[in-house]
Amino acid sequence: MSTLPVVAAVDGSDDSWHALDWALDAARRRAAPLRVAHVRQYAAWSPPGAPLVVPPPPEEDPVLAEARARLARTAQAPDVEYVGLDGPAGALLPGLGAEAALLVLGSRGRGGFARLLLGSNGLTAARDAECPVVVVPRPGREVDGPRPEPGPRVVVGLKADAPDDAALGFAFTEAALRDARLQVVAAYPWPVQTWAGPGELIAPAVEQGAVEHETRTLAEGFLAPHRERHPGVRAEVHPAPGDAAGHLVTASQDAGLVVVGRHRRRLLAPARMLGSVTHAVLLHAASPVAVVPPAPGEE
């Protein structure tokens, strides 16, 4: 069976070249081929009297030519394929993940508003692609919080009452590929507020320590089969009260990757969704973020 490629979406922007560098490293770690794709958004019409704009063939595409030049300067480059597609990026980018191990793109492209933290194409690809999507932020993004323990580290979010096995499996695999420790952020709601009447709150019936202990116990149970498959990965559970997105963004400082899951489709919510936590992490994390779709049987 052939190895699925790592796909890097480039458009000539600095952000896309950062994504290409990340994708090249990911392909090397997986011993996988690299596919470099440029979606050319040429207008489908021209004003009266103006010459029709015809997109160049892939071998004459200046963006792909720049990608070739950059990869030619790297040592031990994997097998590389170059693909040029014509049409709207929001429609075509997710399709690149149909036959890919990973789809990697920068947080911002050439279009849109420069002040946006994440472009619409990145959100669309993370929401709709069939493979995990890695969004690489611009270098230098800082987040508040204490500096973590030095060394390579992968972070994954775990919801103890609704674990995402696909995201956990991806995070363990990525940690093994990077020889990194895995930080499992298991957020739990706190404080628990109960309404006794209009405007009247009563104290929670359980102590925070008990909720944290139960969260850790549940998390360790979910991690057990992944620990068996990846005995070399040092996985640590970090129960955290309150805002899951905030804890994941804080943990992203100096991390190699943050892994989050995509919402499963449900009867009353059949459309694909990112979820508020995943959306916030994509917008604010200091490290690359991998959005992992549910397993096919759970979608």
Distance CA 29, CA 196 (A): 56
pLDDT for the residue 117:
45
- For residue 244, which of 218, 210, 281, 294 has the smallest C-alpha distance? 281
Per DSSP, the three-state class of 269 is strand
pLDDT for the residue 116:
40
* CATH number for the domain whose boundaries are 6-136: 3.40.50.620
pTM: 0.85
CATH code 3.40.50.12370 region(s) in the chain:
153-298
Query: Please, what CATH class does the domain formed by 153-298 belong to?
Result: alpha beta
Question: pLDDT per position in the chain (299 positions), as tens?
Answer: 468 999 999 999 999 999 999 999 999 999 999 999 999 875 544 555 555 555 666 667 899 999 999 999 887 777 999 999 888 888 899 999 999 999 999 986 555 434 444 567 778 899 999 999 999 998 888 888 777 888 999 999 998 888 899 999 999 999 999 999 999 999 988 776 555 556 555 556 678 888 899 999 999 999 999 999 999 999 999 999 988 999 999 999 999 999 999 875 444 444 456 788 998 999 999 999 999 998 866 55
Pairing of the two strands 6-9 and 257-261: unpaired
CATH code 3.40.50.620 region(s) in the chain:
6-136
